[in-house]
Amino acid sequence: MNRAKVNQNINLDDYNDIWIIGEQVDGKIHPVTLELIGEGKKLASKIDKRVVLVIVGFEIDKEVEQLLNYEVDEIYYIEDVSLKEFSTDGYSKAISDLILDKKPEIVLVGATSFGRDIGPRIAAKIGTGLVADCTKLDIDEEDGKILQTRPAFGGNLMATIICPNNRPQMATVRPGVMEKSNFSKEIIGKITKINPKLAASDFRTKLIDRYDPVQKKVNLRDAKIVVSGGRGLKDADGFKLIQRLADVLGGEVGSSRASVDLGWIESDHQVGQTGSTVKPDLYIACGISGAIQHQAGMVDSKYIIAINKDPNAPIFEVCDYGIVGDLFEVIPELIESIEEKQI
């Protein structure tokens, strides 16, 4: 591998391993952790590196042990009573210290609230760059540089960014985009416990109370069928029609950002660059023009059906089946014929 000493303080050859910063609350592992392991393994196979998972918490040994079933080479389990609950200061210091000690080549964090909080803090503490909200990662096999792709300029173009002079190369990665690592009965890795050096003065905040949010009603990421509505619905009542179609198909209701901005539906339902990324078997876009920012969240669906009265709407460029027509006529007919078949 052709690698130079590019920074007087850094010798790139000192850096090894691909690290995944895992995410857990009360031992419950966030799905993005498995997605990052899957992606880390893909990158590792191209440059012959180890995949190491970092998990921070307290008394979650059983849950950490189960993560060995996802074919990681090693797990660094940073355990301390002060890290039982998430703390921006505590978590970022403990992880930064470990990075400075072990020198990973690549560090991946989920672009979740957790990762968006600690990712940039860790990057600043250890003096490297961070590419936020990546939707695609690859490796330049010549020099091992990670090619980090993310939407730029409001999603109108995709930028591929490299980090040539500093290590580790850090990225936050959008949840729901990468393939999860498969469960394997065979265990190849081991767990190494890390006792972080943390003092009370390292924590600037104190947890006083915790309110768990009400469970979200919509689960777009795991849905097999998503029926989405856009500005073409004309008003909030239009979503009743979308809900009926979703119900007869056993699917979830999605939306464009325009519908959310107009206050017709809650933001949990938004699909797209600033909403959820979905990959259902069937995505039905109703009265949605198909702006690039909407496509960013649904274009990988297995089958896409679009209903739009404008034959030139961009959504027709990405759909498998397009129906040019008024959704208020097309959807009731669709519901009727599906119901007839179900009897």
Ligand X SMILES: Cc1cc2nc3c(=O)[nH]c(=O)nc-3n(C[C@H](O)[C@H](O)[C@H](O)COP(=O)(O)OP(=O)(O)OC[C@H]3O[C@@H](n4cnc5c(N)ncnc54)[C@H](O)[C@@H]3O)c2cc1C
Contact residues toward ligand X (CB under 6 A) are 154-155, 230-232, 256-259, 270, 272-275, 287-289, 291, 293-294, 297, 307-310, 313, 326-328
Nearer to ligand X, 41 or 257 (CB): 257
Q: Tell me how far, at minimum, the Cβ of 326 lies from ligand X, in Å.
A: 4
Q: Tell me how far, at minimum, the Cβ of 219 lies from ligand X, in Å.
A: 17
Nearer to ligand X, 119 or 232 (CB): 232
Q: Tell me how far, at minimum, the Cβ of 153 lies from ligand X, in Å.
A: 9
- Residue 279 vs residues 109, 295, 303, 337: alpha-carbon distances, Å: 21, 11, 9, 25
Q: How far apart are CA 232 and CA 310, in angstroms?
A: 10
Q: How far apart are CA 147 and CA 47, in angstroms?
A: 13
Q: Tell me how far, at minimum, the Cβ of 258 lies from ligand X, in Å.
A: 3
Q: Tell me how far, at minimum, the Cβ of 285 lies from ligand X, in Å.
A: 8
Nearer to ligand X, 126 or 173 (CB): 173
Beta strands in 189-342 (DSSP E): 190-194, 225-229, 252-255, 282-286, 303-308, 321-324
Q: How far apart are CA 40 and CA 134, in angstroms?
A: 13
144 half-sphere exposure, CB direction, 13 A CA radius = 22
Nearer to ligand X, 90 or 275 (CB): 275
Q: Tell me how far, at minimum, the Cβ of 287 lies from ligand X, in Å.
A: 4
- 83 Cβ contact partners less than 8 Å away, ≥ 6 residues apart: 56, 57, 58, 90, 91, 94, 196, 198
Nearer to ligand X, 175 or 232 (CB): 232
Q: Tell me how far, at minimum, the Cβ of 159 lies from ligand X, in Å.
A: 14
Q: Tell me how far, at minimum, the Cβ of 148 lies from ligand X, in Å.
A: 19
DSSP letter assigned to residue 43: H
Count Cβ atoms below 10 Å from residue 26 Cβ, excluding itself: 10
Nearer to ligand X, 87 or 270 (CB): 270
Which DSSP helix (H) or strand (E) runs through 21?
strand 16-21
Q: Tell me how far, at minimum, the Cβ of 265 lies from ligand X, in Å.
A: 11
Residue 287, Cβ density class (10 Å: 0-12 exposed, 13-18 middle, ≥19 buried): buried
Nearer to ligand X, 181 or 308 (CB): 308
In b/e form, how buried is each residue of 298-337, taking b as 16+ CB within 10 angstroms?
A: bbebeebbbbbeeeebbbbebbeebbeeebbebbeebbee
Count Cβ atoms below 10 Å from residue 133 Cβ, excluding itself: 19
Helices 88-102 and 113-126, interaxial angle, to 10°?
Answer: 50
Nearer to ligand X, 104 or 297 (CB): 297
Nearer to ligand X, 18 or 323 (CB): 323
Six token digits for residue 38? 């899957």
